[in-house]
Structure 1
Amino acid sequence: MAFIGIDHGTTAMRFALIEGEEVRTFELARAEAAAMSEEDVLASVEKNFGIRRVDIELIAATYSMGDGFSTVKDIRALEGRGLRSLEGAGKKTGGGTRVFDAVRNSGIPAVAIPGIHTESRVDPRMKVFSHLTSPEKLGIAYHIRCLGCENFVVSDISSNTVTLAVAGGKLLGAIDACIFAPGVHHGPLDLQAIRDVDAGIISANQAFIEAGTLKMTPYEDREEMLAAAERGEAPALLALDTIALFAAMEIVSMQLLLRDYGVSGEAIFLAGSVGEVEYVQKKISRHLDHECRCLGKWHAAIGCAEIARDIAGGAEQILGVDVEYP
């Protein structure tokens, strides 16, 4: 039996397949996926995984913010694509939409994973914010749960930074990308950004996607900045130092939430393309005086595949999120 997880990432759609003890992965850039037909997407899945679609038992997919529903559902039972609004924080390319629709229209059994928001079962104090995390972060957290950790904090650091807290195998809360710690591209709106939005100079969404630490540097994108950091260039290292400092602050804030539930000594994980950079890992570990474990960029998709596998096996909850399937 084969199970597939799909991570709707900021720059790419990542796919993971679990078949027995074997795990396989591949990715499509979002712009590349947007240019494909639905049939092309499915054919790419078959080709890259060496599998026929009729042999796929269940797919667990994520899409955008996932804020229009709060339980894991059959993908065909969603209204629209499971969003409250098509507007929101982030860059739109159409690649995620193409993949989502390809899965929904394929006839392959599939579930959609929700984001975490005000309708979710989390610590009620976290609901001061309308949205806490998008669905693929549940994939990361579930993968950690499958590694045997019940109590942990995980910070996913890449284009943006999102941090989650889990106690007793259930998600207590999260801090979304537009609230606190910046990533490379995205971050919260500061005073000047608010002034620029009010003055009509820039949209709120554009301000969000340009609020990361890249603005502190002369570089064009994340890849160029990371390459410069490897060469020891000062602007790149300052940007990474800034990310590490604020990510560590965000992790500590989630540890405070866990303390309220009597949890201490929890594991700390870093994920994402920046979280797996050794320089950043060492900085965060030093700030926290605690060794952090690192996950790579594939673990959101792998966690989603593990969600599919366990739902097919009869799981009724995923990290405390109810499952309504079949």
Structure 2
Amino acid sequence: MAFIGMDHGTTGISFCIMDDDAEIIDIFKIDREDSKSGKVSAIEELSKRCDLESVKLMAITYAMGDGISDILPTEKVEDRGILSINGAGKVTGGGTSVFSELENSNIPSIMIPGLHKNSTSLDELFNAAYSHQASPEKVSISYNAIKETGWQNFIVADISSNSVNILIEDSKIKGAIDACLGAMGIVHGPIDLEMIRDIDEGRRTANECFSHAGAVKIAGIDGKVANMKNQLLENYRNGDEKAKLAIDTLIMTVAMEIAGLVVVCENEIEGIVLTGSIGSATEPFNFEDEINKYFKNKYELKVISKESGAIGAAQIAYDVYNGEDNILGINVDLS
């Protein structure tokens, strides 16, 4: 018996396979370009690691997830659970290829929704303020965070190519701040006044602005998403002043966003969970130490795996299969 979680991430598609005791069997990642070109098959990679006939349930995250509000069987989800692929950052087609493979397989699966204005599980103030708050893998990341910590009131800071911070209150997701609204990630970030002018005057599209509004904007780096991140970190290692300013600015914006969520939490928060390739980083800088310079040991910080999206999705699959009908306030509808 096996359970699978899929994280539809910015730089690649990650999978976590768990056994019937919810112990991790394997975690692996498929590069988006390799998937799109057909060089790597998700089904073939999964079959190398487990007997696909033994898979009882797989939990899938895909794109914005703004077309659904409940956790649903994949076969009952229309248009892959999204309203539009536009405005979602750089589109390579790799995630679409993987989804098509899984959709055409015989593996029973469910889809996790994103957090958006039609999500009945969220605080109405967040829904009134923002049309979109987070994509589906932020739900699975939050689920892994609650499993790892046992906390009921906390903030999840997922810092990678983009930065999304999620507020958990009474073990339910209260709301989140999306990458285009608040803190910078490595690649994506908020659209500011200069970018609005560029958009209005036809120099760049909104999506082009969003996809260059992170730390790479400050460091003057462009290219493929994965390459930009690696180049920025390499420049930082080499003592490049622009790279250091970029990372320091990213950390400052993340601290501001977390602090804002702390203010609107009605309960005392128990701590802050850090994840993502940057949030869990220990070199060339220690993200936990750097963010704590702002919080001055006021909150407990807990670093979890950068693969928490895939792990949490597998945990959701396991728990839903075993009868759980509510995940972090989100309804499970298998009817």
Q: TM-score range with shorter-chain normalisation? A: over 0.9
CA distance in 2, matches of 1:201, 1:265: 43
The aligned residue for residue 45 of structure 1 is 46
SS of 2:81 mapped into structure 1: coil
One-letter amino acid of the structure 2 residue matched with residue 256 of structure 1: V
Structure 1 residue 188: deviation in Å? 1.2
Deviation at 1:228, TM superposition (A): 2.4
Give the aligned partner of residue 275 of structure 2: 271
Counterpart for residue 232 of structure 1: 239
Identity of aligned residues (%): 39
- For residue 58 of structure 1, what is the amino acid of its counterpart? L
TM superposition shift of 1:85: 1.6
> Partners of 1:193 and 1:321 in 2: how far apart?
35
Contact 1:37 1:98 in 2 (8 A): no
User: Which moved further from structure 2: 181-190 or 214-223?
Assistant: 214-223
2:132 — aligned with what? 131
Where structure 2 has 5 or more consecutive residues not aligned to the other structure, the ranges are 223-227
**Partner Cα distance (1:32, 1:325) in 2:** 33
Match of 1:315 among 315, 320, 324: 324
Q: How does 1:1-326 map to 2 (within 5 A)?
A: 1-19=1-19, 20=21, 21-36=23-38, 40-47=41-48, 49=49, 51-120=50-119, 121-127=121-127, 128-147=129-148, 148-220=150-222, 221-258=228-265, 261=266, 263-278=267-282, 279=285, 280-290=287-297, 291-326=300-335
**Distance (whole Å) between structure 2 residues aligned to residue 186 and residue 241 of structure 1:** 16
Instruction: Name the SS of the counterpart of 1:202 in structure 2.
Output: coil
**Deviation per residue, 1:81-112 (Å, 9 max, x gap):** 11112322211111111111211211211000
Give 1:176's aligned amino acid.
D
What letter matches 1:133 in structure 2? A
In the TM superposition, what whole-angstrom CA distance separates every residue of 1:287-325 from its partner, at most 9, and x where no partner exists? 012342212321110000000000000000000000012
Letter in 2 for 1:282: D
Q: Please give the secondary structure, in 2, of the residue aligned with 1:324.
A: coil
Separation (CA, whole Å) in 2 of partners of 1:65 and 1:178: 13
Q: Distance in 2 between matches of 1:98 and 1:268?
A: 35
Match of 2:225 in 1: none
Deviation at 1:224, TM superposition (A): 1.4
1:121-180 alpha-carbon deviations (Å, 9 max, x no partner): 211111111000000011110001112221110111111110001011100000000001
Relative to structure 1, the CA distance from residue 234 to residue 305 in structure 2 (aligned partners, 3 Å threshold; closer, same or farther) is: same
CA–CA distance in structure 2, aligned partners of residues 94 and 192 of structure 1 = 30
The residue matched to 2:156 in structure 1 has which SS? strand
Q: Distance in 1 between matches of 2:206 and 2:80?
A: 23
Work out whether residues 63 and 85 of structure 2, in 8 Å CA contact, stay in contact via their aligned partners in 1: no
CA distance in 1, matches of 2:177, 2:43: 34
- Asked whether the equivalents of residues 182 and 257 of structure 2 are also in contact (C-alpha less than 8 Å), the reply is yes
Deviation, 1:37, is: 8.2
User: 1:268 Cα deviation (Å)?
Assistant: 0.3
In structure 1, runs of 5+ residues without a counterpart are: none
Counterparts in 2 of 1:217 and 1:86: CA distance versus 1, 3 Å: closer
Q: Report the secondary structure of 2:133's partner residue.
A: strand
Q: Deviation per CA, 1:55-90: give whole Å up to 9, x if none.
A: 111000000000001000001101111111232221
Give the residue type in structure 1 aligned to 2:263. Answer: L
Off by >3 Å, runs of 4+ in structure 1: none
Paired residues in the alignment total 320
**How far is 1:218 from its partner?**
4.0
Matching residue's letter, 1:17: I
**Secondary structure of 2:175's aligned partner:** strand
| Superposed CA RMSD | 1.5
Tell me whether 174-183 or 81-90 shows the greater mean CA deviation. Answer: 81-90
Distance apart, 1:232 and its partner CA: 3.2
Q: Is the 8 A contact 2:16 2:24 kept in 1?
A: no
Equivalent-residue separation in structure 2 for 1:146 and 1:276 (angstroms): 17
Mapped partners of 2:322, 2:39: distance in 1: 32
